[in-house]
A and B are shown apart, each in its own frame.
Chain A
Amino acid sequence: MICDQCDKNEAVVHLTQIENNEMTVVHLCDACAAERGLDTGNEPAGLPLTDFLAQMSADSGSVTPEPNERCGFCGLSFADFRETGRLGCPQCWSTFAQHLKGLTKRIHGDSVHHGKVYLPPDPTASERERRLNAMREQLDRAVTAEDFERAAELRDEIRSLEQGTVL
């Protein structure tokens, strides 16, 4: 597809705009997109998201680690995270936890997970208990929603987990 603006180069940016209730799609090449102040995102991580995360990190008002503070497992520095918007490994979540609490709250409106609780292959007693609590909440919701088929499944799963025989 050829750029709508210069009519010469291959269009790489497809911009959907809504103005006065009219939706239009504009196809632009790299150069014309840059002229309009659009980032063409040649990196795999879409750059607008990166900017957004970096901006959010700056605004979050939470503890901001030193730029050169690094994850002990993968070596990702906080500056790397600010640049790419991506964490390096599971350990990064603990390394930068204080900062990430503020950031996730800004992104999701909450910083605590309320969904499914993972039960690892060889669970400890407290992991088992957390999973059971989450499943009991799920059961309550299924009953409230009158989804009795699901409620029956959950009841069986809860029972077998309580008895220590994971389904």
Chain B
Amino acid sequence: MSLPSVPDFGLSWLDADGDFPEIVLSTRVRLARNLQGHAFGPRARVNDREAVLRSVRTVGLNVPLLRESTLLELPDLDSRTREVLLERRLVSRDLLGEGGRGPQRGTAVVLAASDPVGMMLNEEDHMRLQSLVSGLRLREAWRSVDRLDDELGRVLPYAFHHEFGFLTSCPTNVGTGLRASVLVHLPGLVLTKEISKVLHSLGQVGLTFRGLYGEGSEVIGNFFQISNQTTLGKSEEELIDHLDRIVRQVIRHEQHARQILLRDARSVTEDKIWRAYGLLRYARSLSFEELMNLLSGVRLGASLNLLPQLRVYTLNKLMIFTQSAHLAQAAGRDLSKAECDLHRASYVRRILADEGDAPSEASEGPPSETA
């Protein structure tokens, strides 16, 4: 089974239409929920997982927000399709199963037809509801997932404790079960070497950061995922507002750092950006890591209007469709690492050519004048 043949299936978070799209790629709010009477994920047996899946399928999918939604059972999907879902950030690595064993029976992902909400089933918790939208839109994402939670809670018996709140497998998620995260691009702070101060201060205000793919993932391409660390003792709105306030401060620092780069190191910055663009535009082989680093420079250039023809949406798309499983999906076969690097470079050249070779003409001056 493969994904429904909609080209942007589950990808509206790339649209670059929220606040600060040049700095904030996406906003995600997730809620951990469990059903009464069944063991949590790590201890669940097949019959627990299947009972959860059955409840959601027979009752949960009838709620208004999930009418016409898509439910994909992971064991039914081929491994490449599963990896594509992971690369689109719609499922977690845990849900796909550890060490090549493949996903367990009962694991599934649900995606709503029109709203940017969905859920994972039978991960560490029975249900992980999520809203994933583009740009900085924390309150909006919270309201979407809150509505989904209200609708599902009316028909499914959640595990809730009057003191501990929504019960979860791990004590770090209990209470609200809410994890809100904002994926930000901070090349200005990295280049001006201010980033460690900013990251350090996050810890002091109850927030944390991770790489592009969440827990345990490395930071690549200067993308950081900033999220709340605690889930118990504060209301959902307080957690959301606090994160929103701090992320806006980080954005202001990033904007300031970019202005400093333009003021104090304009020619060096321009050179870096144009070199990155040149490599992406003409390279014949690109590893994903190299691509992400070059893309970081080009993204900075586009947001500073040094590469005015490039849309943020195009750059977002390049990050997703150049991952290994997406390239293999497009090629219709498995690719070796070397082939993957060739396909990646070819895809990037094509997209940048489609976007128009105009950057050099449209910028304020030809590259030679900016040196």
Contact = CB atoms under 8 A, between A and B. Distances in A.
B369 interface: no
B170 interface: yes
A119 B164 CA distance: 15
B233 A90 contact: no
B40 A86 contact: yes
B146 to A, nearest CB: 8
Contact of B190 (A23, A113, A138): A23
Contact of A46 (B153, B161, B166, B215): B215
A103 to B, nearest CB: 6
Nearest to B289: A1
A125 interface: no
A121 B36 CA distance: 12
A106 B168 CA distance: 17
A65 B16 CA distance: 51
A118 interface: yes
Contacts of A41: 216
B38 interface: yes
B40 A89 contact: yes
A114 B233 contact: yes
Given A110-B232, A115-B176, A116-B236, A53 B171 contact: yes
A62 B235 CA distance: 25
Nearest to A119: B153
A112 to B, nearest CB: 6
Contacts of B94: 44
B165 A113 contact: yes
Nearest to A17: B196
Nearest to A94: B161
Contacts of B334: none
Given A108-B232, A112-B163, A113-B164, A138 B154 contact: no
Interface string B275-287: 0000000000000
A94 to B, nearest CB: 7
Given A88-B42, A115-B165, 19 more contacts: A16-B219, A74-B39, A97-B163, A103-B171, A104-B232, A108-B233, A111-B164, A113-B166, A113-B174, A115-B176, A116-B149, A116-B236, A117-B160, A120-B160, A121-B155, A121-B156, A130-B162, A142-B237, A145-B237
B157 interface: yes
Given A108-B230, A108-B231, A113-B175, A25 B42 contact: no
Contacts of A85: 170-171
Contact of B218 (A16, A45, A53, A145): A16
A22 B234 contact: no
B124 interface: yes
Given A118-B160, A118-B166, A119-B154, A104 B237 contact: no
A137 interface: yes
Contacts of B40: 86-90
B196 A84 contact: no
Contacts of A119: 153-154
A14 to B, nearest CB: 4
B220 to A, nearest CB: 8
A113 B216 contact: no
A21 B43 contact: no
- Which of A109, A113, A121 has its CB near the most chain B CB atoms (within 10 A)? A113
Given A46-B216, A115-B235, A89 B158 contact: no
A141 interface: yes
Nearest to A130: B162
A141 B146 CA distance: 16
Contact of B171 (A25, A100, A121): A100
Contacts of A79: none
Nearest to B195: A23
A25 B218 contact: yes
Contacts of B161: 90, 93-94, 113
B43 A88 contact: yes
A103 B175 CA distance: 13
A58 interface: no
A23 B165 contact: no
Contact of A88 (B39, B163, B237): B39
B163 to A, nearest CB: 6
10 contacts: A44-B42, A49-B172, A85-B171, A87-B171, A88-B43, A101-B163, A111-B163, A114-B235, A114-B238, A141-B238
